[in-house]
């Protein structure tokens, strides 16, 4: 007899059979289906297999075919445990709700607003927010991909309170810097509530203690979730809980990354799910696959069909709907200094060779090593002195000659331009992907009151000038603080600067399209007047990796614009090539590299530099 069980402790489906069955043909077929559908499947003995429940649910039709063809009948030759049966019924309902969503009309706005009014939801929704919540309000799992500043958090809370029972819980997985926004919006939307969000942090024991009090509203970071997945799974199993993913593109790496695995392993437990991201596919359409699988693990999704699958269940408010004035982007192209160009040629040939090797080997370690090498090349173009402390750098003497030429053309321009804008009465936001650049620029512009934010700056009270919030407040409120220098990896989310700053300078950019788009949105978001100009300057060195980055960002953003039907996303006049090769599922490196980026590097770095 074949037995199907659900292992609550690990969230896995377990398939086992008797010794008398081991030579039957369905055993081989069953084993093949298990391992074909999950990279996380395992053999747990001679006659036992297991795989994550979400993987099993997504392959239900394949398993059913094996059962039917080989006459494995429930109660006779197939035993399904009570919990597994319950979860299978839930999977069927979820799959049916998705199929119904394709043709389902939106909720009536009067019905939505009446429900929200009855439970004390006082925040007035904009026309776009009402439209969006009415569209997804009937769905147990959905997505809001509205642009930053359009009120995704408010939409999410309206969605929760419309669908939730009085004692339903809400767990939000989010970057730490987004926590304050959830606190603020909950208090503004439903001020009568006596309880707010509690933070699940401080290690396993503290989180277990926090969960023991049965909180209704919870926040946890993606990194922390990985460490306490078992505790969260137990809580979701015992309480009716809605699970929301803020900045959901953070799980885009899929099962190859611990964060995505932890999220996907919980996907069958919540009573409701929502994902939120303004940039849901920063690398390619493949980024949508794990996000859709979280929402509907019962529906088979691949890169080829995921855009069509996502279309009935997502909403998006575009910048064009917010009445924002357009952004003025200027490309500042500068020549490298002579000796810098000489050393760059040596370095770029090394990176080209490493790129060839990474493409040939396809190993994760090769891609990680290449990511570091590309970061080094980007650093050198932006600020040659960043390599001066690198142990074992092979061209120390030549680097010394480069430094004798000065700080480098990009750094010199950025410093000069920041001072010029400041003299004109403007506040300036400078972006660099490298921590040492961030701190160096801030120190060089200290006379302009420059403050900085990178990953090493802790969150805290806005009364503490050294905290992230304190630095933001200084930039907002202190007229003597004319410059903020920031790292997109740390400051591209959860910061609004558009009321005081309308000029941004990019000393450098990486291949990470999400970081770039979200960093732009710090000063170009809802709330700007129709006549307010927003100016972005992108500083590049001619004939360098900077140009490859620009072309690849343009391509990625263009692909996202097509998928989300949002022309406002196209930020560079780069043609979209519909025959572009597929992007492999690779790790997200600091530079945001994917395999197509590596192919572009091979092409661009392999030829002679200008």
Query: Of 294, 317, 340, which residue constitutes the final position of a domain?
Result: 317
Which has more confidence, 588 or 175?
Answer: 175
Q: Please indicate, yes or no, whether residues 292 and 391 belong to a single structural domain of this protein.
A: no
- Mean pLDDT of all residues in 483-492: 87
- Mean pLDDT of all residues in 393-402: 82
Q: Work out how many domains the chain is built from and give that number.
A: 3
Q: Which residues, 6 or more positions from 122, have their beta carbon under 8 angstroms from its beta carbon?
A: 188, 189, 190, 191
Is residue 583 pLDDT above 80, yes or no? no
| Domain CATH for 58 | 3.30.70
Question: Domain containing 127: what range?
Answer: 106-317
pLDDT at 609: 39
Cβ 467 vs Cβ 461: under 8 Å: yes
| Tens digit of each residue's pLDDT (9 = 90 or more) over 281-296 | 888 888 999 999 999 9
Q: Please indicate, yes or no, whether residues 302 and 416 belong to a single structural domain of this protein.
A: no
Q: Choose the weakest-confidence range: 155-169, 330-344, 536-550, 583-597.
A: 583-597
- Mean pLDDT of all residues in 383-411: 83
Q: Please indicate, yes or no, whether residues 514 and 450 belong to a single structural domain of this protein.
A: yes
| Domain CATH for 519 | 3.40.50.300
C-alpha dihedral, 407 to 413 to 419 to 423, nearest 10°: 160
Q: Please indicate, yes or no, whether residues 222 and 259 belong to a single structural domain of this protein.
A: yes
Is residue 461 pLDDT above 90, yes or no? no
| Tens digit of each residue's pLDDT (9 = 90 or more) over 527-574 | 788 889 999 999 999 999 999 999 999 988 888 888 877 665 544 432
Nearest-angstrom CA–CA distance, 295 and 368: 30
Which has more confidence, 497 or 388?
Answer: 497
pLDDT at 391: 61
89 located within any domain:
no
95 located within any domain:
no
Task: Give the β-pairing of 48-52 and 42-43.
Answer: antiparallel
Q: Please indicate, yes or no, whether residues 286 and 336 belong to a single structural domain of this protein.
A: no
Query: Of 292, 317, 342, which residue constitutes the final position of a domain?
Result: 317
pLDDT at 541: 96
Strand ranges (E), 475-544: 483-486, 503-506, 534-541
pLDDT at 493: 66
88 located within any domain:
no
The Cα-based distances of 304 to 1, 36, 468, 557 in angstroms read 38, 18, 41, 18
pTM over 0.85, yes/no: no
155 located within any domain:
yes
Q: Please indicate, yes or no, whether residues 64 and 188 belong to a single structural domain of this protein.
A: no
293 located within any domain:
yes
Q: Please indicate, yes or no, whether residues 132 and 273 belong to a single structural domain of this protein.
A: yes
Q: Which residues, 6 or more positions from 161, have their beta carbon under 8 angstroms from its beta carbon?
A: 115, 116, 119, 121, 189, 190
| Confidence class for position 460, pLDDT limits 50, 70, 90 | confident
% of the chain surpassing 70 pLDDT: 94
DSSP one-letter string for 223-247 = HHHHHTHHHHHHHHHHS-EEEEEET
Nearest-angstrom CA–CA distance, 470 and 481: 12
| Confidence class for position 357, pLDDT limits 50, 70, 90 | confident
% of the chain surpassing 90 pLDDT: 57
Is residue 586 pLDDT above 60, yes or no? no
Which has more confidence, 597 or 362?
Answer: 597
| Tens digit of each residue's pLDDT (9 = 90 or more) over 118-127 | 999 999 999 9
pLDDT at 569: 58
| Tens digit of each residue's pLDDT (9 = 90 or more) over 163-181 | 999 999 999 999 888 898 8
Q: Please indicate, yes or no, whether residues 228 and 347 belong to a single structural domain of this protein.
A: no
pLDDT at 591: 63
Q: Please indicate, yes or no, whether residues 366 and 219 belong to a single structural domain of this protein.
A: no
- Mean pLDDT of all residues in 465-494: 89
Is residue 580 pLDDT above 60, yes or no? no
| Tens digit of each residue's pLDDT (9 = 90 or more) over 50-97 | 999 988 988 888 999 999 999 998 888 999 999 999 999 988 888 888
| Tens digit of each residue's pLDDT (9 = 90 or more) over 502-531 | 999 999 999 988 888 888 888 888 778 888
Is residue 443 pLDDT above 90, yes or no? yes
Which has more confidence, 454 or 257?
Answer: 454
pLDDT at 576: 27
Query: Of 258, 287, 317, which residue constitutes the final position of a domain?
Result: 317
Closest residue by Cα to residue 82 from 4, 9, 11, 10 = 4
- Reading the block at residue 527, the tokens are 């709330």
Is residue 113 pLDDT above 90, yes or no? yes
Q: Please indicate, yes or no, whether residues 459 and 402 belong to a single structural domain of this protein.
A: yes
Give backbone dihedrals phi and psi of 504, rounded to 5 degrees, phi first.
Answer: -130, 145
524 located within any domain:
yes
Cβ 497 vs Cβ 522: under 8 Å: yes
Q: Please indicate, yes or no, whether residues 279 and 332 belong to a single structural domain of this protein.
A: no
pLDDT at 7: 93
pLDDT at 567: 60
Give backbone dihedrals phi and psi of 286, rounded to 5 degrees, phi first.
Answer: -60, -25
Is residue 427 pLDDT above 60, yes or no? yes
Which has more confidence, 492 or 218?
Answer: 218
48 located within any domain:
yes
Nearest-angstrom CA–CA distance, 50 and 31: 10
SS3 assignment, position 285: helix
Is residue 27 pLDDT above 70, yes or no? yes
Alpha-helical (H) ranges within 195-311 are: 204-212, 222-227, 229-238, 258-264, 288-295, 306-310
Q: Please indicate, yes or no, whether residues 362 and 256 belong to a single structural domain of this protein.
A: no
| Confidence class for position 359, pLDDT limits 50, 70, 90 | confident
101 located within any domain:
no
């Amino acid at each position: 007899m074949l037995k199907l069980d659900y292992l609550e402790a690990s969230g896995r489906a377990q398939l086992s059979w008797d010794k008398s069955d081991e030579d039957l043909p369905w055993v081989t077929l069953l084993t093949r289906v298990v391992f074909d559908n999950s990279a996380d499947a395992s053999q747990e003995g001679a006659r036992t297999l297991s795989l994550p429940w979400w993987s099993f649910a997504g392959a239900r039709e394949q398993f059913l075919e094996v059962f039917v063809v080989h006459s494995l009948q429930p109660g006779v030759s197939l035993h399904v445990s009570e919990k597994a049966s319950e979860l299978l019924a839930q999977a069927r309902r979820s799959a049916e709700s998705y199929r119904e969503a394709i043709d389902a009309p939106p909720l009536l706005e009067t019905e939505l607003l009446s429900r929200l009014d009855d439970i004390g939801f006082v925040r007035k929704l904009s026309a776009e927010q009402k439209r969006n919540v009415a569209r997804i309000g009937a769905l147990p799992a959905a997505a809001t991909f509205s642009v930053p500043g359009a009120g995704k958090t408010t939409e999410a809370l309206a969605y929760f309170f419309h669908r939730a029972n009085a004692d339903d819980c809400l767990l939000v997985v989010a970057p730490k810097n987004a926590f304050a926004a959830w606190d603020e919006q909950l208090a503004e939307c439903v001020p009568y509530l006596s309880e707010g969000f509690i933070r699940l942090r401080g290690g396993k024991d503290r989180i277990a203690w926090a969960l023991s009090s049965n909180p209704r509203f919870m926040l946890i970071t993606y990194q922390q979730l990985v460490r306490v997945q078992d505790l969260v799974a137990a809580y979701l199993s015992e309480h009716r809980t809605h699970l929301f993913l803020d900045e959901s593109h953070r799980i885009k790496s899929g099962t190859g990354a611990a964060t995505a695995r932890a999220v996907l392993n919980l996907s069958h437990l919540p009573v409701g799910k929502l994902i939120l991201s303004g940039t849901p596919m920063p690398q390619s359409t493949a980024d949508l696959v794990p996000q859709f699988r979280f929402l509907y693990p019962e529906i088979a999704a691949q890169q080829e069909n995921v855009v069509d699958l996502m279309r009935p269940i997502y909403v998006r408010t575009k910048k064009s709907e917010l009445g924002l004035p357009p952004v003025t982007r200027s490309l500042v192209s500068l020549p490298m200094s002579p000796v810098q160009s000489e050393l760059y040629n040596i370095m770029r040939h090394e990176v080209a060779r490493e790129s060839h090797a990474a493409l040939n080997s396809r190993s994760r370690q090769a891609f990680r090593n290449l990511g570091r090498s590309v970061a080094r090349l980007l650093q050198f173009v932006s600020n040659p002195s960043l390599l001066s402390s690198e142990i074992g750098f092979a061209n120390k003497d030549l680097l010394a000659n480069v430094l004798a030429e000065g700080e480098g053309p990009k750094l010199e321009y950025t410093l000069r331009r920041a001072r010029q804008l400041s003299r004109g009465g403007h506040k300036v936001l400078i972006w660099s992907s490298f921590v040492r650049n961030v701190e160096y620029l801030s120190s060089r512009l200290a006379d302009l009151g420059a403050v900085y934010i990178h990953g090493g700056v802790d969150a805290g009270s806005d009364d503490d000038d050294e905290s992230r919030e304190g630095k933001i407040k200084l930039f907002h409120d202190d007229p003597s603080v004319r410059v903020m220098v920031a790292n997109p990896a740390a400051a591209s989310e959860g910061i609004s600067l558009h009321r005081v700053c309308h000029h941004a300078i990019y000393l450098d950019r990486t291949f990470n399209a999400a970081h770039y788009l979200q960093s732009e949105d710090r000063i170009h978001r809802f709330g700007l007047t129709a006549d307010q100009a927003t100016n972005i300057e992108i500083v590049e060195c001619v004939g360098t990796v900077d140009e490859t980055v620009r072309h690849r960002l343009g391509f990625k953003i263009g692909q996202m614009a097509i998928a989300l039907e949002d022309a406002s996303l196209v930020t560079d006049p780069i043609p979209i090539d519909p025959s572009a090769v597929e992007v492999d599922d690779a790790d997200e490196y600091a530079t945001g590299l994917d395999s197509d980026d590596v192919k572009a590097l091979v092409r661009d770095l392999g030829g002679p530099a200008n």
